[in-house]
Amino acid sequence: MKYAPSTISLCLLLFFGQGFSGMLLPWAAFAAESTVAKSEDEQRLDTIRYGTETEIAALIQTLKSERTGALQSKSEHTLDDALIGITQNTRNQQILSGVLSFFGDQDKTGLEQRAIKAIEEREDEANETVMAAIEYLGKVKAVDAFGPLEKLLDAQEQGFMGVAFRALGRVASGGSAQDKDDTAAYLVDFYTNRNPPDTSRRDIILALGETGSQAGVSLLIEIAEDNQERGGLRMVALEGLAKIGDSSGLDAILQALSSTDPNVRSTAVAALGPFSGKSVDDAILESFRDSYYRTRIGAASAAGTRKLTEAIPYLQYRAERDEVPAVRDEAIKALGAIGTAEAQAILERLFVERKHPNQIRIRAAAMLLLNDPGAYTEKVITELDDAKKTNQTSLYNSLLGVLSEAKTGKVEDLVRRFLHSGGVIEKSYALDMILRNELRSLAPEVRPLMTDEKNTGLARKARNILEHFGLE
Protein backbone atom coordinates (compact mmCIF):
# COMPACT_ATOMS: atom_id res chain seq x y z
CA MET A 1 0.00 0.00 0.00
CA LYS A 2 1.30 3.42 -0.93
CA TYR A 3 0.71 6.50 1.15
CA ALA A 4 0.63 10.05 -0.04
CA PRO A 5 3.61 12.21 1.04
CA SER A 6 1.25 14.46 2.96
CA THR A 7 -0.01 11.53 4.99
CA ILE A 8 3.52 10.38 5.86
CA SER A 9 4.46 13.87 6.97
CA LEU A 10 1.43 14.07 9.19
CA CYS A 11 2.21 10.73 10.85
CA LEU A 12 5.82 11.72 11.48
CA LEU A 13 4.73 14.97 13.07
CA LEU A 14 2.28 13.18 15.33
CA PHE A 15 4.87 10.57 16.32
CA PHE A 16 7.74 12.94 17.06
CA GLY A 17 5.44 15.51 18.63
CA GLN A 18 4.39 12.97 21.22
CA GLY A 19 8.02 12.01 21.88
CA PHE A 20 9.37 15.52 22.22
CA SER A 21 6.51 17.02 24.17
CA GLY A 22 8.09 16.06 27.50
CA MET A 23 11.31 17.77 26.42
CA LEU A 24 9.75 20.89 24.95
CA LEU A 25 7.69 21.83 27.99
CA PRO A 26 10.65 22.17 30.44
CA TRP A 27 12.66 24.07 27.82
CA ALA A 28 9.76 26.46 27.27
CA ALA A 29 9.44 27.03 31.00
CA PHE A 30 13.18 27.76 31.26
CA ALA A 31 13.01 30.20 28.37
CA ALA A 32 10.09 32.01 29.94
CA GLU A 33 11.87 32.21 33.29
CA SER A 34 15.10 33.48 31.74
CA THR A 35 13.32 36.32 29.99
CA VAL A 36 11.51 37.59 33.06
CA ALA A 37 12.77 41.11 33.59
CA LYS A 38 14.81 41.58 36.73
CA SER A 39 14.03 44.51 38.98
CA GLU A 40 16.27 47.56 38.81
CA ASP A 41 17.79 46.73 42.20
CA GLU A 42 18.58 43.17 41.08
CA GLN A 43 20.22 44.50 37.93
CA ARG A 44 22.34 46.84 40.02
CA LEU A 45 23.41 44.03 42.31
CA ASP A 46 24.43 42.05 39.23
CA THR A 47 26.51 44.98 38.05
CA ILE A 48 28.32 45.10 41.38
CA ARG A 49 28.88 41.33 41.40
CA TYR A 50 29.87 40.79 37.80
CA GLY A 51 30.42 44.20 36.20
CA THR A 52 33.58 45.78 34.84
CA GLU A 53 35.28 48.68 36.57
CA THR A 54 33.69 51.04 34.05
CA GLU A 55 30.19 49.68 34.67
CA ILE A 56 30.61 49.86 38.45
CA ALA A 57 31.98 53.42 38.21
CA ALA A 58 28.94 54.44 36.16
CA LEU A 59 26.62 52.85 38.75
CA ILE A 60 28.36 54.72 41.57
CA GLN A 61 27.83 58.02 39.75
CA THR A 62 24.14 57.17 39.38
CA LEU A 63 23.85 56.32 43.07
CA LYS A 64 25.53 59.61 44.01
CA SER A 65 22.94 61.57 42.08
CA GLU A 66 20.04 59.62 43.61
CA ARG A 67 20.88 59.67 47.30
CA THR A 68 18.64 62.04 49.26
CA GLY A 69 20.68 62.57 52.41
CA ALA A 70 19.80 60.78 55.65
CA LEU A 71 16.91 58.75 54.18
CA GLN A 72 18.19 55.43 52.86
CA SER A 73 16.03 52.52 51.77
CA LYS A 74 16.60 48.84 52.44
CA SER A 75 17.61 48.32 48.82
CA GLU A 76 20.22 51.08 49.12
CA HIS A 77 21.64 49.44 52.24
CA THR A 78 21.82 46.17 50.29
CA LEU A 79 23.71 47.86 47.45
CA ASP A 80 26.11 49.50 49.91
CA ASP A 81 26.78 46.15 51.58
CA ALA A 82 27.53 44.68 48.17
CA LEU A 83 29.94 47.51 47.41
CA ILE A 84 31.69 46.93 50.74
CA GLY A 85 31.95 43.26 49.83
CA ILE A 86 33.75 43.77 46.52
CA THR A 87 36.33 46.12 48.07
CA GLN A 88 37.59 43.57 50.58
CA ASN A 89 39.78 41.62 48.16
CA THR A 90 40.00 43.61 44.95
CA ARG A 91 42.97 45.81 44.17
CA ASN A 92 41.30 47.35 41.14
CA GLN A 93 42.19 51.04 41.48
CA GLN A 94 39.11 52.43 39.79
CA ILE A 95 36.69 50.32 41.83
CA LEU A 96 38.42 50.93 45.17
CA SER A 97 38.84 54.66 44.63
CA GLY A 98 35.27 55.02 43.43
CA VAL A 99 33.72 53.19 46.38
CA LEU A 100 35.93 54.97 48.94
CA SER A 101 35.04 58.36 47.47
CA PHE A 102 31.33 57.46 47.33
CA PHE A 103 31.23 56.34 50.96
CA GLY A 104 33.33 59.29 52.10
CA ASP A 105 30.98 61.80 50.48
CA GLN A 106 28.12 60.22 52.45
CA ASP A 107 30.10 60.03 55.72
CA LYS A 108 29.26 56.33 55.62
CA THR A 109 31.35 53.96 57.69
CA GLY A 110 32.18 50.37 56.82
CA LEU A 111 35.42 50.69 54.86
CA GLU A 112 37.77 51.79 57.64
CA GLN A 113 39.77 48.56 57.83
CA ARG A 114 40.03 48.29 54.05
CA ALA A 115 41.27 51.87 53.87
CA ILE A 116 43.85 51.25 56.61
CA LYS A 117 45.00 48.15 54.74
CA ALA A 118 45.47 50.25 51.60
CA ILE A 119 47.73 52.62 53.56
CA GLU A 120 49.73 49.90 55.28
CA GLU A 121 50.19 47.91 52.07
CA ARG A 122 50.56 50.93 49.80
CA GLU A 123 53.42 49.35 47.84
CA ASP A 124 50.83 47.00 46.36
CA GLU A 125 48.19 49.67 45.72
CA ALA A 126 47.88 52.41 43.14
CA ASN A 127 48.68 55.89 44.47
CA GLU A 128 45.14 57.01 43.65
CA THR A 129 43.74 54.25 45.85
CA VAL A 130 45.98 55.23 48.77
CA MET A 131 44.95 58.88 48.42
CA ALA A 132 41.27 57.92 48.36
CA ALA A 133 41.77 55.73 51.45
CA ILE A 134 43.43 58.57 53.38
CA GLU A 135 40.69 61.04 52.45
CA TYR A 136 38.00 58.51 53.42
CA LEU A 137 39.47 57.96 56.88
CA GLY A 138 39.48 61.71 57.46
CA LYS A 139 35.92 62.22 56.27
CA VAL A 140 34.48 59.52 58.54
CA LYS A 141 36.82 60.53 61.42
CA ALA A 142 37.98 56.96 61.92
CA VAL A 143 39.61 56.77 65.36
CA ASP A 144 41.49 53.60 64.36
CA ALA A 145 43.43 55.65 61.83
CA PHE A 146 45.63 57.64 64.24
CA GLY A 147 48.49 55.14 64.23
CA PRO A 148 48.50 54.34 60.49
CA LEU A 149 48.33 58.02 59.52
CA GLU A 150 51.17 59.01 61.85
CA LYS A 151 53.33 56.15 60.57
CA LEU A 152 52.63 57.29 57.02
CA LEU A 153 53.66 60.84 57.91
CA ASP A 154 56.79 59.65 59.72
CA ALA A 155 57.85 57.97 56.48
CA GLN A 156 57.68 61.44 54.84
CA GLU A 157 56.52 60.21 51.46
CA GLN A 158 55.89 63.57 49.84
CA GLY A 159 53.04 62.49 47.61
CA PHE A 160 50.86 61.56 50.58
CA MET A 161 51.84 64.07 53.26
CA GLY A 162 49.41 66.90 52.49
CA VAL A 163 46.28 64.77 52.41
CA ALA A 164 47.50 62.75 55.42
CA PHE A 165 47.99 65.85 57.58
CA ARG A 166 44.50 67.08 56.73
CA ALA A 167 42.97 63.66 57.41
CA LEU A 168 44.78 63.43 60.76
CA GLY A 169 43.28 66.75 61.85
CA ARG A 170 39.77 65.63 60.90
CA VAL A 171 40.18 62.31 62.69
CA ALA A 172 41.31 64.15 65.84
CA SER A 173 38.28 66.46 65.68
CA GLY A 174 36.07 63.42 66.20
CA GLY A 175 38.16 61.89 68.97
CA SER A 176 38.45 62.40 72.71
CA ALA A 177 40.04 65.45 74.37
CA GLN A 178 43.18 63.38 74.88
CA ASP A 179 43.19 62.42 71.19
CA LYS A 180 42.95 66.08 70.23
CA ASP A 181 45.80 67.12 72.54
CA ASP A 182 48.05 64.22 71.48
CA THR A 183 47.47 64.97 67.80
CA ALA A 184 48.12 68.69 68.31
CA ALA A 185 51.38 67.91 70.13
CA TYR A 186 52.43 65.61 67.27
CA LEU A 187 51.69 68.31 64.68
CA VAL A 188 53.51 71.06 66.63
CA ASP A 189 56.56 68.80 66.98
CA PHE A 190 56.51 67.97 63.28
CA TYR A 191 56.28 71.66 62.35
CA THR A 192 59.02 72.90 64.69
CA ASN A 193 61.50 70.02 64.74
CA ARG A 194 61.30 68.10 61.47
CA ASN A 195 61.80 70.93 58.97
CA PRO A 196 58.76 70.10 56.81
CA PRO A 197 58.72 71.38 53.22
CA ASP A 198 56.77 74.56 52.46
CA THR A 199 54.15 72.47 50.68
CA SER A 200 53.38 70.71 54.00
CA ARG A 201 53.51 73.66 56.41
CA ARG A 202 50.09 74.98 55.42
CA ASP A 203 48.55 71.52 55.77
CA ILE A 204 50.04 71.10 59.25
CA ILE A 205 48.61 74.43 60.41
CA LEU A 206 45.25 73.60 58.85
CA ALA A 207 45.21 70.25 60.67
CA LEU A 208 46.21 71.94 63.93
CA GLY A 209 43.11 74.12 63.78
CA GLU A 210 40.94 71.09 62.98
CA THR A 211 41.99 69.38 66.21
CA GLY A 212 40.37 72.13 68.30
CA SER A 213 43.07 71.62 70.94
CA GLN A 214 44.50 74.44 73.04
CA ALA A 215 47.86 72.69 72.70
CA GLY A 216 48.21 74.22 69.25
CA VAL A 217 47.25 77.81 70.10
CA SER A 218 50.78 79.11 70.84
CA LEU A 219 52.11 78.07 67.42
CA LEU A 220 49.06 79.50 65.66
CA ILE A 221 49.51 82.83 67.47
CA GLU A 222 53.17 82.95 66.52
CA ILE A 223 52.36 82.50 62.84
CA ALA A 224 49.36 84.86 62.84
CA GLU A 225 51.41 87.69 64.37
CA ASP A 226 54.40 87.29 62.06
CA ASN A 227 54.19 90.09 59.49
CA GLN A 228 57.08 88.50 57.58
CA GLU A 229 55.22 85.22 57.15
CA ARG A 230 53.42 84.40 53.92
CA GLY A 231 49.86 85.69 53.83
CA GLY A 232 48.37 82.29 53.03
CA LEU A 233 49.92 80.69 56.11
CA ARG A 234 48.81 83.55 58.35
CA MET A 235 45.26 83.18 57.05
CA VAL A 236 45.16 79.47 57.88
CA ALA A 237 46.54 80.23 61.36
CA LEU A 238 43.82 82.84 61.94
CA GLU A 239 41.14 80.39 60.84
CA GLY A 240 42.60 77.84 63.25
CA LEU A 241 42.44 80.29 66.15
CA ALA A 242 38.78 80.89 65.34
CA LYS A 243 38.02 77.15 65.26
CA ILE A 244 39.68 76.61 68.63
CA GLY A 245 38.08 79.77 70.06
CA ASP A 246 40.55 80.17 72.93
CA SER A 247 40.58 83.75 74.28
CA SER A 248 44.40 83.85 74.28
CA GLY A 249 44.29 84.02 70.47
CA LEU A 250 42.10 87.14 70.30
CA ASP A 251 44.91 89.72 70.40
CA ALA A 252 46.63 88.10 67.44
CA ILE A 253 43.39 88.29 65.44
CA LEU A 254 42.80 91.95 66.33
CA GLN A 255 46.37 92.76 65.38
CA ALA A 256 45.91 91.13 61.97
CA LEU A 257 43.04 93.52 61.22
CA SER A 258 45.58 96.23 60.46
CA SER A 259 47.58 94.12 58.01
CA THR A 260 48.46 95.63 54.64
CA ASP A 261 47.41 92.34 53.05
CA PRO A 262 43.65 92.60 52.36
CA ASN A 263 43.26 88.82 52.42
CA VAL A 264 44.74 88.65 55.92
CA ARG A 265 42.38 91.46 57.03
CA SER A 266 39.32 89.71 55.65
CA THR A 267 40.29 86.43 57.30
CA ALA A 268 40.93 88.17 60.62
CA VAL A 269 37.53 89.84 60.77
CA ALA A 270 35.76 86.58 59.90
CA ALA A 271 37.76 84.92 62.70
CA LEU A 272 36.22 87.28 65.29
CA GLY A 273 32.89 85.45 65.26
CA PRO A 274 33.49 83.12 68.25
CA PHE A 275 34.89 85.89 70.48
CA SER A 276 33.14 88.52 72.61
CA GLY A 277 33.71 91.99 74.06
CA LYS A 278 33.39 95.61 73.00
CA SER A 279 36.72 95.58 71.16
CA VAL A 280 35.46 92.71 69.04
CA ASP A 281 32.13 94.40 68.29
CA ASP A 282 33.84 97.65 67.33
CA ALA A 283 36.28 95.85 65.07
CA ILE A 284 33.46 94.06 63.23
CA LEU A 285 31.46 97.25 62.68
CA GLU A 286 34.54 99.12 61.47
CA SER A 287 35.29 96.35 58.98
CA PHE A 288 32.07 97.07 57.11
CA ARG A 289 33.84 100.20 55.82
CA ASP A 290 36.75 98.30 54.30
CA SER A 291 37.01 98.82 50.54
CA TYR A 292 38.08 95.21 50.04
CA TYR A 293 34.91 93.22 49.49
CA ARG A 294 36.13 90.07 51.24
CA THR A 295 36.61 92.05 54.45
CA ARG A 296 32.98 93.17 54.27
CA ILE A 297 31.97 89.54 53.73
CA GLY A 298 34.01 88.61 56.80
CA ALA A 299 32.34 91.36 58.83
CA ALA A 300 28.88 90.13 57.85
CA SER A 301 29.81 86.54 58.66
CA ALA A 302 31.21 87.50 62.08
CA ALA A 303 28.14 89.64 62.85
CA GLY A 304 25.86 86.71 62.06
CA THR A 305 27.90 84.27 64.12
CA ARG A 306 27.79 86.61 67.11
CA LYS A 307 24.15 87.65 66.49
CA LEU A 308 25.40 91.22 66.75
CA THR A 309 22.24 93.37 66.77
CA GLU A 310 24.30 96.58 66.52
CA ALA A 311 25.29 95.43 63.03
CA ILE A 312 21.71 95.29 61.69
CA PRO A 313 21.75 98.76 60.03
CA TYR A 314 25.15 97.98 58.47
CA LEU A 315 23.82 94.68 57.19
CA GLN A 316 20.69 96.30 55.78
CA TYR A 317 22.81 98.83 53.92
CA ARG A 318 25.06 96.12 52.51
CA ALA A 319 22.11 93.88 51.57
CA GLU A 320 20.43 96.69 49.63
CA ARG A 321 23.35 98.62 48.17
CA ASP A 322 26.65 96.77 48.10
CA GLU A 323 28.07 96.55 44.62
CA VAL A 324 29.27 92.97 45.12
CA PRO A 325 26.55 90.25 45.03
CA ALA A 326 28.51 88.01 47.41
CA VAL A 327 28.50 90.74 50.06
CA ARG A 328 24.75 91.26 49.70
CA ASP A 329 24.24 87.51 49.99
CA GLU A 330 26.33 87.24 53.16
CA ALA A 331 24.57 90.24 54.70
CA ILE A 332 21.18 88.58 54.16
CA LYS A 333 22.44 85.37 55.75
CA ALA A 334 23.69 87.36 58.73
CA LEU A 335 20.31 89.09 59.15
CA GLY A 336 18.71 85.67 59.19
CA ALA A 337 21.20 84.43 61.77
CA ILE A 338 20.48 87.42 64.03
CA GLY A 339 16.75 86.75 63.60
CA THR A 340 15.26 89.59 65.67
CA ALA A 341 11.94 91.20 64.73
CA GLU A 342 13.85 94.09 63.17
CA ALA A 343 16.02 91.74 61.12
CA GLN A 344 12.98 89.73 60.00
CA ALA A 345 11.17 92.89 58.88
CA ILE A 346 14.15 93.85 56.72
CA LEU A 347 14.26 90.38 55.19
CA GLU A 348 10.53 90.51 54.44
CA ARG A 349 10.91 93.78 52.56
CA LEU A 350 13.83 92.38 50.60
CA PHE A 351 11.66 89.44 49.60
CA VAL A 352 8.29 90.97 48.80
CA GLU A 353 9.56 94.05 46.92
CA ARG A 354 9.95 92.75 43.40
CA LYS A 355 12.38 95.48 42.41
CA HIS A 356 15.15 93.53 44.12
CA PRO A 357 17.23 91.04 42.11
CA ASN A 358 15.99 87.47 42.20
CA GLN A 359 19.02 86.20 44.08
CA ILE A 360 18.38 88.63 46.94
CA ARG A 361 14.70 87.66 47.07
CA ILE A 362 15.52 83.95 47.07
CA ARG A 363 18.09 84.26 49.86
CA ALA A 364 15.72 86.42 51.92
CA ALA A 365 12.92 83.86 51.46
CA ALA A 366 15.22 81.10 52.65
CA MET A 367 16.06 83.02 55.82
CA LEU A 368 12.42 83.89 56.51
CA LEU A 369 11.33 80.26 56.20
CA LEU A 370 14.23 79.08 58.30
CA ASN A 371 13.33 81.40 61.19
CA ASP A 372 9.52 81.40 61.02
CA PRO A 373 8.09 79.07 58.37
CA GLY A 374 4.57 79.28 59.80
CA ALA A 375 4.41 83.03 59.24
CA TYR A 376 5.96 83.21 55.77
CA THR A 377 5.16 80.00 53.88
CA GLU A 378 1.96 81.36 52.34
CA LYS A 379 3.72 84.54 51.19
CA VAL A 380 6.42 82.51 49.49
CA ILE A 381 3.79 80.31 47.80
CA THR A 382 2.05 83.46 46.52
CA GLU A 383 5.30 84.68 44.96
CA LEU A 384 5.91 81.17 43.59
CA ASP A 385 2.59 81.18 41.78
CA ASP A 386 3.22 84.68 40.43
CA ALA A 387 6.63 83.60 39.11
CA LYS A 388 4.95 80.77 37.21
CA LYS A 389 2.28 83.05 35.74
CA THR A 390 4.91 85.49 34.53
CA ASN A 391 7.17 82.74 33.14
CA GLN A 392 10.05 83.50 35.51
CA THR A 393 11.33 79.94 35.38
CA SER A 394 14.57 80.50 37.27
CA LEU A 395 12.83 82.29 40.13
CA TYR A 396 10.07 79.66 40.19
CA ASN A 397 12.50 76.74 40.43
CA SER A 398 14.58 78.48 43.10
CA LEU A 399 11.54 79.22 45.27
CA LEU A 400 10.49 75.59 44.86
CA GLY A 401 13.85 74.58 46.29
CA VAL A 402 13.45 77.02 49.19
CA LEU A 403 9.97 75.70 50.01
CA SER A 404 11.21 72.12 49.92
CA GLU A 405 13.46 72.98 52.89
CA ALA A 406 10.67 74.55 54.98
CA LYS A 407 9.71 72.75 58.15
CA THR A 408 5.96 73.39 58.31
CA GLY A 409 2.69 71.62 57.61
CA LYS A 410 1.49 74.69 55.70
CA VAL A 411 2.97 73.26 52.52
CA GLU A 412 0.43 70.42 52.49
CA ASP A 413 -2.03 72.03 50.05
CA LEU A 414 0.82 72.92 47.69
CA VAL A 415 2.13 69.36 47.89
CA ARG A 416 -1.29 67.92 47.12
CA ARG A 417 -1.61 70.23 44.13
CA PHE A 418 1.77 69.11 42.78
CA LEU A 419 0.98 65.42 43.24
CA HIS A 420 -2.23 65.77 41.24
CA SER A 421 -1.22 68.15 38.47
CA GLY A 422 2.48 68.99 38.73
CA GLY A 423 5.33 68.04 36.43
CA VAL A 424 8.18 65.70 37.29
CA ILE A 425 10.24 68.40 39.02
CA GLU A 426 7.26 69.62 41.03
CA LYS A 427 6.37 66.11 42.11
CA SER A 428 9.95 65.48 43.16
CA TYR A 429 9.94 68.60 45.35
CA ALA A 430 6.53 67.58 46.69
CA LEU A 431 8.01 64.29 47.85
CA ASP A 432 10.84 66.17 49.56
CA MET A 433 8.28 68.26 51.44
CA ILE A 434 6.31 65.16 52.45
CA LEU A 435 9.42 63.57 53.91
CA ARG A 436 10.69 66.70 55.66
CA ASN A 437 7.32 67.42 57.28
CA GLU A 438 6.21 63.82 57.86
CA LEU A 439 2.98 64.34 55.89
CA ARG A 440 1.79 60.76 56.33
CA SER A 441 -1.77 61.67 55.41
CA LEU A 442 -0.62 62.03 51.80
CA ALA A 443 0.69 58.47 51.58
CA PRO A 444 -2.28 57.26 49.45
CA GLU A 445 -1.44 59.96 46.91
CA VAL A 446 2.23 59.04 46.92
CA ARG A 447 1.63 55.36 46.23
CA PRO A 448 0.64 55.73 42.52
CA LEU A 449 4.02 57.34 41.80
CA MET A 450 5.72 54.04 42.64
CA THR A 451 4.50 52.59 39.32
CA ASP A 452 5.66 55.47 37.13
CA GLU A 453 7.72 53.55 34.58
CA LYS A 454 8.74 56.70 32.71
CA ASN A 455 10.33 58.28 35.78
CA THR A 456 12.19 55.61 37.72
CA GLY A 457 13.88 58.21 39.93
CA LEU A 458 10.51 59.55 41.05
CA ALA A 459 9.21 56.02 41.60
CA ARG A 460 12.25 55.17 43.70
CA LYS A 461 11.86 58.28 45.84
CA ALA A 462 8.17 57.52 46.42
CA ARG A 463 8.99 53.92 47.37
CA ASN A 464 11.69 55.06 49.81
CA ILE A 465 9.32 57.52 51.50
CA LEU A 466 6.58 54.95 51.95
CA GLU A 467 9.14 52.52 53.32
CA HIS A 468 10.33 55.25 55.72
CA PHE A 469 6.74 55.67 56.89
CA GLY A 470 6.43 51.92 57.42
CA LEU A 471 3.95 51.58 54.57
CA GLU A 472 5.82 49.29 52.17
73-128 tens-digit pLDDT: 677 788 899 999 988 888 888 899 999 999 998 889 999 999 999 999 999 999 99
Q: What is the pLDDT of residues 222-252, one digit of tens each?
A: 999 999 999 999 999 999 999 999 999 999 9
Q: What is the pLDDT of residue 89?
A: 81
The per-residue pLDDT for range 345-367, each reduced to its tens digit, is 999 999 999 999 999 999 999 99
DSSP designation for 37: P
Over residues 121-140, the mean pLDDT reads 94
Task: Mark 283-305 as b/e (b = at least 16 C-beta within 10 Å).
Answer: bbbebbebeebbbbbbbbbbbbb
CA distances from 449 to 67, 340, 467 (A): 18, 42, 14
Contact 432, 446 (CB under 8 A): no
Q: How far apart are CA 294 and CA 300, in angstroms?
A: 10
Cα–Cα dist 138/104, whole Å: 9
- Residue 34 above 80 pLDDT? no
Q: Does position 170 have pLDDT exceeding 70, yes or no?
A: yes
Q: What is the pLDDT of residue 20?
A: 41
Q: Are 233 and 202 a contacting pair, CB within 8 Å?
A: yes
The β-bridge partners of 71 are 68
pLDDT of residue 460: 87
Average pLDDT over residues 46-67: 87
* Cβ pair 109, 140 in contact under 8 A: yes
Distance from C-alpha of 304 to C-alpha of 272, rounded to nearest angstrom:
11
14 pLDDT more than 70: no
pLDDT value, residue 196: 92
Distance separating alpha carbons of residues 186 and 179, to the nearest angstrom: 11
At 91 the pLDDT is: 82
The residue-averaged pLDDT of 258-281 equals 95
- Residue 32 is predicted with a pLDDT of 40
Q: Are 120 and 130 in contact (CB under 8 A)?
A: no
d(CA 235, CA 455): 48
What are the tens digits of pLDDT across the range 386-421? 999 999 999 999 999 999 999 999 999 999 999 999
Strand partners, 68: 71
Over 60: is that where the pLDDT of 324 sits? yes
Cα R_g (the chain), whole angstroms: 30
